[in-house]
A = this chain, B = another copy of it.
Amino acid sequence: MSDGTTARRHGTYGDGVANFLSRWQFRIEWGQCDPAGIVFNSRFFEFFDWGTWTLFARALGVKPADFAAAFGIAGIPVVDASAQFLAPARFGDVVELTSQIIEFRPASFEVEHRLIVHDALAVEGRETRIWAARDIADPPQITAEPVPEAVIACLRTQ
């Protein structure tokens, strides 16, 4: 959602391989907050989605809108999402979201999102997504395929 963001390669996970980390700063808006004056929980899942698209766009150099066509897939739908809300984010807060793929599995991959507010971790989230190919035998249907090696390579840090 921003032009003025930065990204850097960072992070080490279980397999000892560091994956690309996308970092994105933005301001919390009035309409994203509820009567308690804090961001309504569903909005964080919007932020996570933005974070994932930003991550792929940067790592692969493919625009979000061209992504499905570029890889011949139906998309990368979320099949599981979760978040822990540790501290609130308020109207006007400038926050930082970091997004990183933390695991590639045979039929899904896991994206971790961390939202930093005033230098402290405020929300920690996970999305499980699938690399959704169209089912050739039944086109409207989709099937989960492994993320291609070439895509994984772009998401790895050398």
Chain A residues in the interface with B (C-beta under 8 A): 1-5, 25-27, 29-31, 33-37, 40-46, 49-50, 53, 63-66, 74-75, 77-85, 90-94
CB distance from A1 to the nearest CB of B (A): 5
| Interface class of chain A by DSSP | mixed
Given known contacts A41-B81, A65-B90, A66-B92, A33 and B35 CB-to-CB distance under 8 angstroms: yes
CB distance from A39 to the nearest CB of B (A): 10
Number of copies of this chain that the complex holds: 4
B residues less than 8 Å from A4 (CB atoms): 2-5
**Contact indicator A30/B34 (Cβ below 8 Å):** yes
**Contact indicator A77/B81 (Cβ below 8 Å):** no
Cα separation A34 to B30 with both chains bound (whole Å) = 7
Cα separation A5 to B2 with both chains bound (whole Å) = 8
Cα separation A66 to B29 with both chains bound (whole Å) = 13
**Contact indicator B3/A25 (Cβ below 8 Å):** yes
Given known contacts A35-B37, A80-B84, A49 and B30 CB-to-CB distance under 8 angstroms: yes
